[in-house]
Amino acid sequence: MSDNEPDKETSRHALFCCFGCMSSVGTLTAMAMLEAYKRLDHERFGLFCTSAIAAGIPKHRRSTDNAESIIAIDGCYNHCTQKILESAGLHIDKYLNLLHDLKIPKLGPFRPFDYTEDNFNKAVSAIMDICEQSTSKHA
C-alpha cells in the first residue's frame, strides 16, 4: 500500500505509549503495554506508533484519525506521548501516567530495568483497565 491509499483496516482503539528507555518508568511503560496488548482483542485494539506521529508520517496519521478512540500511556512527568499527540492536534480519550496515577517511582537516568515485578503487574493491570473503560465508552 502506498502512503496515498486509505487504510483497509484500522483498530477501533489506538494505543500509544512511551517507549523511552532512559529511565525505569519509560521501559516499564513499554514492557507493560506490550504485555497488556498480548492479552487484548487485536480486532478492537491496535498498537500505534508515537514516533511516526511525531515525524508526520501520513499513513500513520490516517490510521489514527480513523480510530474511534486514542489511549495514551506515559511513564513520567515529561508526558512525552501526550505532548506528541496533542502537538499533532489529536484528542486523547483516555490517559494514564505511571508516575502520577500509579505512584511508580522513576529511577534513572540509565536504569531502564530497575522496576519491580509488582510495579510491572500493577502497570499491566492499569493499562488493561483503561482499555476496558475505553471499550465500554464506545460500545
More confident residue, 17 or 4: 17
Q: Is the peptide bond before 58 cis (omega within 30 degrees of 0)?
A: no
The domain 13-137: what is its CATH number?
3.40.50
Q: What share of the chain in percent tops pLDDT 90?
A: 86
User: Where do the structural domains in the chain lie, given as residue ranges?
Assistant: 13-137
- Percent of the chain having pLDDT more than 70? 91
pLDDT of residue 28: 98
DSSP letter, residue 132: H
CB 128 within 8 A of CB 104: no
